[in-house]
A and B are shown apart, each in its own frame.
Chain A
Amino acid sequence: MKSFLQVLFSSLALVASFLTQAEPAVIAPKAKDSLLLDIVKVTDERFVTVGQRGHILVSDDKGMTWRQVAVPVDVNLTAVDFLNDSHGVAVGFDQTVLLTEDAGETWSISHQEISNFQPALFSVLYTSENSITAVGSYGLYLETKNGGESWGSREVSTLSDVYDGFSHFYDIEQLDAETWYMAGEKYIAESNEDGDEFSKGMIAVTKDGGETWEKLNSPYEGSFFGIKVKNSDIYVYGLRGNLFHSTDDGASWQSIKLGSESGFHDMLIAEDNTLVLVGTGGVMVTKKGSDLTLNKRTDLKGRAALVHVNNSHYIIVGEGGVETYSQSKDKQSVDKGQ
């Protein structure tokens, strides 16, 4: 982890006089096997995944075949979200925001700030026709209220650490129009006179559509990579196999043991409240009631995100590219996507 001072220092030390221009992503046969970081279901048939080097791939057959589309940037893309079956947003490094109006066929740069430092966007919410909110490294909070015509970034001072610095915002999730949640890297929550510092994984909530944010009570001193909400259930997960559950809007948390030490990168809550988590070392944990099943990629390549297709079918993306996954009662089978 980088300290705030280190960050400040390096951003000052480098004069941005000869910066690389945005270059379009290279269309590459192996894009679907490269590091992919997020995936979204646009319609029952169509899925869109984003990842390194500006790779965006679309599938029109539930993930069986994938096609890389042209993208005007080649930075790492970290997250993707769709408002409806046509309008979507993808974000990534260099504060890049890409928009599509045709279900992911073509993308245009809506916002980008190239610098020698690493202000990256890690998560994005497309909440209404005009509103998009993206969060990222070192407390980066970027929003538009006019459908991407102009973007503004602001410091959410209520979410800073004791030194008024910021750690990384890793995930932003929506419960309803006004209630959103955020999870992120551990931040220094307290320090005493002896110089001892006490960290907490960040969890935050807004009740007014992002105008004001407040931290929630955090049960863990390590980092959270993501947060998921469904009705009154809130789940946060992160480093070292940690998963916490709250039913009282974050006032109290219960740790859920999943029998894995791997960091979790993504999670989904199925209709029957089954929890499916994926993460480091290629783990996939399914928790149905009190039944736990653990599946691991044989090559231990990390799994970054997953999406539910139908029944027991999932599409998972990560270090090994795209894979389709079928889970049946007794046996599991793993197929690489075509």
Chain B
Amino acid sequence: MAKNTLEPLVKSLFFSKRGLWVGLFAIITAVMAYFVSQLRIDASFEKNIPLKHEYMETYLQYQEEFGGANRVFVALEAIEGEIFTENFFEALRQADDRVEGIEGVNQSQVQSLFSPSVRYIEASEQGLEGGPVIPPEFEQVNKDKAFAKVRENILKAGIRGRLVSNDFTSAMISAQLFSEYNDPNAQLKLDENGQAASQMVQTDYVKVAHQLEKLRTDIEAEYPNIEVHIIGFAKMIGDVSDGAGNVIFFFLIAFLITALLVYWYSRSIKLTILPLLTSSVAVVWQLGILTAMGYGIDPMSILIPFLIFAIGVSHGVQMINGVQHNVGKGLKVFDASIMACAGLIVPGGVALLSDTIGFLTLQLIEIDIIRELAVTASIGVAVLILTNLILLPLLISYTHFSDNFVQSVQKREKSHEAIWNKLAVFAKRPMATVVVVIGIVLGLLGYWGSQNMKVGDLHAGAPALKQDSPYNIDTKFVTDKYSIGTDVISILAETRADGCTFYNIMETIDDFQWQLANVEGVQSTLSLPQISKVVNGLLSEGNLKWKMLPKDEAVLPYTIARVETSTGLLNSGCSVMPVMVFLKDHKAETIERVVGSVKSFKADYLAKEKAKVLNAVSASFTQLDDSQKTVITSHLDSLMTDYSELSYSEDSDRPSLEDYVTEQLAKSSDISAEQVTEIEATLKEQLPPSGFKPVKFRLATGAVGVMAATNEAVEAAQVPMMIWVYLAVTLLCLISFRSVRGTICVVLPLVVVSLLAQTLMTWLEIGLTVATLPVIALGVGIGVDYGIYIFSRMVGFIRAGRSVSDAYFETLKLTGNAVLFTGLTLAIGVSTWIFSALQYQADMGIMLTFMFLVNMLGAIFLLPALAALLYRR
């Protein structure tokens, strides 16, 4: 191997002033350690969602008015019998008070049997009667009678299945959480203008979760006959961050196993401690920088420091290997360290750089939690370049090896040559051809399998948590006993001002709701027209034949006059009406079916509305010839499509269609001014008095609305992300090897492994989610390391004129141990996650372990085989 030209540089820059550098590293580490002590767990709901997605714009716009996806449900269950006991109602009232008292809870949106807004209505000879579900005289009257009345009121109020379980054994409190709220504890401060400054504080979900958990233990302790079930995003995050703490335990196990392995590999305590030390320093720096930048760490990216540690150790092993090899050749430790550092700084740097770039491609995904993960990981890997490629050899240079040790290294290297000889066969035909064929077959199988990979969460309950976690058991309880759950998607029907007083608007919303109610996987639906029908039936003495949407626009407003905005079924201007769709689960297929149904309804509806106008208008253009008619019709058609996308806003209604069309047509060249005037007149004449005001259905709020957006964002990001990762890896290989063939040898095995990883996801029913999407990028970014380490050596031997199999044999002698070992340390570092209580950590653990191990196999077998075929002369 040619003498490394970097040696003098590395020597003069680092090793001649090694005391200074080590001191500097120590100081920085101390500072970073201080920052790490300030590290906080940072979980927010918004971070998990693709805020720029179309659906999420709707979500953000309406979350205060209709409540976003951020609800918690506290369900009390009577273990024996029904809820109608004094004991149960006492507990329910206490729980209701407690929930209202939690900071961050929107008190006006808390609903339970005790809420004044939860009312019933019924018909009598005098007209409509109504009242709170729990009658005011509840306290005084005979309890049996009172409970009978409450039971009846529950049914009349239509809250069975929503606030009371279908079998009357459970009742719930439903509360909405603010994402930020006015801090009641803050002292009133005035801003420069003398106005009271708002003291908005972020809702601390973990704290909310702990308060809810306290509520559970308190109630269950006080009322032994009652069990409490709590679900909702805040509770889930609380459970996740509690579970995330266990990661420390997995880390310790991984640390121990890794230490043992490194000792077994290096046969030296010093050489075991040093890479573990520098890798730990990297983690401290990473977390310190993160804190200094103002980030916290959230339950998802909490795994990244451990990943960084594993990567660090794997690169450290390469360094130890290099030093040992050089010492074995008879060099002094100091010179051996310089040589190893100079020899590894380029391939190691390239490998770590490609990791960094692999992580940075995750920035393309417009979900903050993934971006933060990308930042966290990129910082960590960048830091590794300093700690494990510079600090580590500097520290090693201080050590001394006995002659015995040097001899044992030489002996071991010799003993491994037999193995390397066998492996070198794979770099020679015909074996190479066989391996490549197997590679192609696996690639095709992987491609076929990856086609069935599902997007989104494939299982019921919270996907972050295991199926048998308390949270998911509570989720199952609520979905089994109630007609609702957290799996709700709300589509917002935006209309003109006072939209709910127009029959055609309400009818459209009603038709829309009916279409969705019939979609497979939909459990129940709720919207304002449904209430209107019930009330209209009641207004007509309860005659079911009148249970319909009143066409009479004098009656219609009367049927909904009593519906309050707190029901979440309309806004104060009655121009926005959500259609709530409760789903049986949140599997991606279910969500896709619902979203697909919404989109097809929108398309059909718009087509119908346009056709009405076009028919009316074109019928009155009798004097025009067909070509003119076609021109005008196509203009009108596209203008109406644009018009239907205009937003309805509270204060300024849309312009009328005729004004809009006139304005737009005036700009077009193929329609004369007279024709424009005529079209305007025709529209005015033909349009109904209410005008052309189609309902604008907007996806979506509710927990499933968020999931729909996330699934779409994740699915949309997948291909570009892969393209960028591969582009980055390819470019780096091209630059560092200056060889197209070499790049192919390194990158192709990665592709095969990526495809196999996706097949594994299909097979293990792991969906492509916010948690698993980054794994594929990480797997490629880190997986390329082996290839780079192997090929960077191999290419030197090949260029020196050796055959591919000889070159491979020599490379293995140099680095074979280290590569195998790197794969093992990386895999062990992440495989302990598989036992995590958190499902997404387990999923990430499985995926990464697989990718690290199989990428290693790819680099050992497929890479030299490809080289053998590509470099034949």
Chain A positions within 8 Å of B, measured between CB atoms, are 1-2, 6-7, 9-10, 13-15, 17-18, 20, 26, 28-30, 35, 37, 52-53, 76, 78, 93, 116-118, 120, 122, 170, 185, 222-223, 225, 239-240, 263, 265, 280, 299-300, 302, 304, 318-319
- Complex: A59 Cα to B73 Cα, angstroms: 42
> Is B553 a contact partner of A78 (Cβ separation < 8 A)?
no
Chain B positions within 8 Å of A, measured between CB atoms, are 123, 125, 152, 155-156, 160, 503-504, 507, 511, 514-515, 517-518, 520, 539-545, 547-548, 550-555, 612, 616, 686-689
Q: Which 8 A-B pairs have the closest CB atoms?
A: A18-B688, A10-B554, A300-B155, A28-B518, A304-B544, A78-B545, A76-B548, A263-B542
A31 → B minimal CB distance (Å):
8
> Is A17 a contact partner of B688 (Cβ separation < 8 A)?
yes
Measured between beta carbons, the chain A residues less than 8 angstroms from B543 are 170, 223, 225, 263, 265
> Is B515 a contact partner of A26 (Cβ separation < 8 A)?
yes
Measured between beta carbons, the chain A residues less than 8 angstroms from B553 are 10, 14, 116
Among B520, B551, B554, point to the contact of A9 (Cβ < 8 A).
B554
> Is A122 a contact partner of B518 (Cβ separation < 8 A)?
no
What is the chain A residue whose CB lies nearest that of B156?
A300
> Is A18 a contact partner of B616 (Cβ separation < 8 A)?
yes
Measured between beta carbons, the chain A residues less than 8 angstroms from B612 are 18
> Is B551 a contact partner of A116 (Cβ separation < 8 A)?
yes
Measured between beta carbons, the chain B residues less than 8 angstroms from A185 are 541
- Complex: A304 Cα to B511 Cα, angstroms: 23
- Complex: A96 Cα to B773 Cα, angstroms: 56
Among A1, A122, A239, point to the contact of B545 (Cβ < 8 A).
A122
Query: Are A116 and B503 also in contact (CB < 8 A) when A26-B515, A35-B547, A299-B160 are?
Result: yes
- Complex: A281 Cα to B324 Cα, angstroms: 87
Among A29, A170, A223, A225, point to the contact of B518 (Cβ < 8 A).
A29
> Is A37 a contact partner of B544 (Cβ separation < 8 A)?
yes
- Complex: A30 Cα to B551 Cα, angstroms: 24
A-B contacts counted at CB < 8 A amount to 93
> Is B540 a contact partner of A280 (Cβ separation < 8 A)?
no
- Complex: A120 Cα to B546 Cα, angstroms: 9
Among B517, B540, B545, B688, point to the contact of A30 (Cβ < 8 A).
B517
- Complex: A53 Cα to B530 Cα, angstroms: 13
Among B125, B504, B687, point to the contact of A239 (Cβ < 8 A).
B125
> Is A52 a contact partner of B548 (Cβ separation < 8 A)?
yes
Among A26, A118, A265, point to the contact of B551 (Cβ < 8 A).
A118
A212 → B minimal CB distance (Å):
27
Measured between beta carbons, the chain B residues less than 8 angstroms from A117 are 551-552
> Is B541 a contact partner of A239 (Cβ separation < 8 A)?
yes
Identify 28 residue pairs between A and B in the complex whose beta-carbon atoms are under 8 Å apart, listed by A's number.
Answer: A6-B554, A9-B554, A10-B555, A15-B689, A17-B686, A17-B689, A20-B504, A20-B507, A29-B518, A30-B518, A35-B547, A37-B545, A53-B514, A76-B548, A116-B552, A117-B551, A117-B552, A118-B550, A120-B545, A170-B543, A223-B543, A263-B123, A299-B155, A299-B160, A300-B152, A302-B544, A304-B545, A319-B544
A277 → B minimal CB distance (Å):
14
B524 → A minimal CB distance (Å):
11
What is the chain B residue whose CB lies nearest that of A53?
B514
Measured between beta carbons, the chain B residues less than 8 angstroms from A76 are 545, 548
Measured between beta carbons, the chain B residues less than 8 angstroms from A2 are 552, 555
A68 → B minimal CB distance (Å):
11
Q: A28-B517, A37-B545 are in contact. List 17 more A-B contacts (CB 8 A).
A: A10-B555, A18-B612, A18-B686, A26-B511, A28-B515, A37-B544, A52-B548, A93-B551, A117-B551, A118-B551, A170-B545, A223-B541, A263-B541, A280-B544, A299-B155, A300-B152, A300-B156
Measured between beta carbons, the chain B residues less than 8 angstroms from A116 are 503, 551-553
Query: Are A18 and B548 also in contact (CB < 8 A) when A26-B514, A26-B515, A30-B517 are?
Result: no
Measured between beta carbons, the chain A residues less than 8 angstroms from B504 are 20
Measured between beta carbons, the chain A residues less than 8 angstroms from B514 are 26, 28, 53
- Complex: A273 Cα to B520 Cα, angstroms: 45
- Complex: A116 Cα to B690 Cα, angstroms: 13
B526 → A minimal CB distance (Å):
15
- Complex: A29 Cα to B514 Cα, angstroms: 11
B517 → A minimal CB distance (Å):
6
A303 → B minimal CB distance (Å):
9
Measured between beta carbons, the chain B residues less than 8 angstroms from A318 are 544
A240 → B minimal CB distance (Å):
7
What is the chain B residue whose CB lies nearest that of A75?
B548
B354 → A minimal CB distance (Å):
52
Query: Are A240 and B544 also in contact (CB < 8 A) when A15-B689, A18-B616, A118-B552 are?
Result: no
Measured between beta carbons, the chain A residues less than 8 angstroms from B540 are 1
Measured between beta carbons, the chain B residues less than 8 angstroms from A26 are 511, 514-515
Measured between beta carbons, the chain B residues less than 8 angstroms from A10 are 552-555
What is the chain A residue whose CB lies nearest that of B537?
A302
Measured between beta carbons, the chain B residues less than 8 angstroms from A302 are 542, 544, 547
Measured between beta carbons, the chain B residues less than 8 angstroms from A37 are 544-545
A289 → B minimal CB distance (Å):
29
What is the chain A residue whose CB lies nearest that of B534?
A319
Residue of B123, B548, B555 ringed by the most chain A CB atoms within 10 A = B548
Residue of B515, B552, B555 ringed by the most chain A CB atoms within 10 A = B552
Measured between beta carbons, the chain A residues less than 8 angstroms from B152 are 300
- Complex: A299 Cα to B544 Cα, angstroms: 16
B78 → A minimal CB distance (Å):
18
Query: Are A13 and B554 also in contact (CB < 8 A) when A26-B514, A28-B514, A304-B544 are?
Result: yes
> Is B545 a contact partner of A18 (Cβ separation < 8 A)?
no
B123 → A minimal CB distance (Å):
8
> Is B155 a contact partner of A35 (Cβ separation < 8 A)?
no
What is the chain B residue whose CB lies nearest that of A93?
B548
What is the chain B residue whose CB lies nearest that of A303?
B544
Among B518, B520, B542, B554, point to the contact of A280 (Cβ < 8 A).
B542
B480 → A minimal CB distance (Å):
17
Measured between beta carbons, the chain B residues less than 8 angstroms from A6 are 554
B124 → A minimal CB distance (Å):
8
- Complex: A18 Cα to B517 Cα, angstroms: 28
B126 → A minimal CB distance (Å):
11
